[in-house]
Amino acid sequence: MPIRLCGKNKTTTPKRETTECPDNLCVYMAQAGYLLDGLFYVTISAGDINLESIGIMSTPKLELRNVSKTFHANGMVVRALENISLAVTPGEFLTVIGPSGSGKSTLFNLITGLLEPDSGEILLDGVVDVVRAGHFGYMPQRDLLLPWRSVLDNVIIPLELRGIPRTDARTRARQMLPMFGLEDFADSYPASLSGGMRQRAALLRTILTERDTLLLDEPFGALDALTRRELQDWLLGLWEQFRQTVVFITHDVEEALYLGDRVAVLSPRPGRVANMLAVDLPRPRRRGMIALPQFGRQMSELLESLGVEV
Ligand code: ADP
**Residue 209 φ/ψ region, left for φ over 0, alpha for ψ in the -120 to 50 degree band, beta for the rest:** alpha
Taking the CA of residue 106 as reference, the ligand 1 atom at the shortest distance is: 6
pLDDT at residue 11 is higher than 50: no
Q: Which of 67, 69, 71 to mutate to test the pocket of ligand 1 (most atoms within 8 A of CB)?
A: 71
User: Can you tell me whether residue 276 is helix, strand or coil?
Assistant: strand
As a whole number, mean pLDDT of residues 195-217 equals 91
Residue 278: strand pairing partners: 262
State residue 29's pLDDT score. 44
The string of pLDDT tens digits covering residues 170-180 is 999 999 899 88
Residues 273/86, Cβ–Cβ less than 8 Å: yes
Compute the mean pLDDT over every residue in the chain, rounded to the nearest whole number: 84
CA-based torsion, 275, 271, 205, 154: positive or negative: positive
The answer to which of 12-16, 94-98, 263-267 has the lowest mean pLDDT is 12-16
State residue 175's pLDDT score. 93
pTM: 0.81
Question: In 3D, which of 304, 253, 269 has the Cα closest to residue 107?
Answer: 269
* Domains defined along the chain, listed by start: 3-42 (no CATH), 62-136+211-305 (3.40.50.300)
**Residue 307 φ/ψ region, left for φ over 0, alpha for ψ in the -120 to 50 degree band, beta for the rest:** left
Rounded CA-CA distance 303/260 in Å is 16
pLDDT at residue 183 is higher than 50: yes
Cα 81 to ligand 1 centroid, rounded to whole Å: 9
State residue 121's pLDDT score. 95
275 versus 251: the higher-pLDDT residue is: 275
DSSP state of 193: S
Ligand 1 close to Cβ of residue 100 (< 6 A): yes
CA-based torsion, 158, 164, 168, 172: positive or negative: negative
pLDDT at residue 193 is higher than 50: yes
**Residue 224 φ/ψ region, left for φ over 0, alpha for ψ in the -120 to 50 degree band, beta for the rest:** beta
